[in-house]
Amino acid sequence: MDIMQLLDPLSAAIVLGGTLAATLLRCGWRDARAALRALARLAGRPFDSARVRAELAAQVQEIGEDGIFRAEAHYFGDGEFDTLSEALIRHRSVEALHEGHAHYRAGRQTAADTAARVLGEAAELAPVLGLAGTLVALGGFAAEADADYARSIGTAVITTLYGLVLANFAFAPLAAAVARRAHAEERERQELVDWLAAAVERSIPLRTDEAADKVAA
């Protein structure tokens, strides 16, 4: 079998272009942009837990040596942990650390869920557009008395194939990859937050009400 027979730029354009257009109409611009951002992050480097831990270790060491009142927040390019370090120093509270992390985690989870949903919609629509291309090809064959039967049937079959390939080897795997990347990053970030909270908790003075409760106990 000649593999070149499976290459049909027009059919590919119909299926891919139709799938993208239908997905955009179904999901809207905002969700489509969220999916594009997730795909861009997927192509980039994953979250570097080791680098962030090393940066946070310097913050922990400074808090241990100088105390929470004299320590200064460290900024090293990670939006969440830059903000969390600042909140920790400003409020002198592990609760502020966990609250800030929960806020960021909710935002990332929403973005990841939106991106996975958009890609899932594309995976659902691709076979439909493949079938639409098949119907267009067969309709053109039926409308023309001198149509090339073999060519029309070939185009009809190829558009269906393109739809199935796009759905099962492109959009669905990308949706799963976005979800896996988001889950892995959240697990690593949670581990870092728990480690940071445990590391600095001894250096944060108890509030008056907390100290009274411990004395009473």
The pLDDT value recorded for residue 69 is 81
Q: What is the CA radius of gyration of the chain?
A: 27
Neighbours of 182 (CB within 10 A): 21
Cβ atoms of 152 and 137 within 8 Å: the answer is yes
Q: Higher model confidence: residue 126 or residue 206? A: 126
- 148 pLDDT band, cuts 50/70/90, is low
User: Cα(210)–Cα(217) distance, rounded to whole angstroms?
Assistant: 11
Q: Is residue 143 scored above 70 in pLDDT?
A: no
Phi and psi, residue 165, nearest 5°: -65, -45
Mean pLDDT, rounded, of the chain:
85
Are 80 and 104 in contact, with CB atoms under 8 Å apart? yes
Greatest CA separation for the chain: 97
Q: What is the band of 17 on the pLDDT scale with cuts at 50, 70, 90?
A: very high
**Residue 33 confidence (pLDDT) above 70:** yes
Q: Are 65 and 203 in contact (CB under 8 A)?
A: no
What pLDDT was estimated at residue 155? 73
Residue carrying structure tokens 């861009």: 40
> Which residue's structure tokens are 């976005």?
178
Confidence of residue 19 (pLDDT cuts 50, 70, 90): very high
110's CB contacts (< 8 A; 6+ apart) are: none
What's the pTM? Answer: 0.84
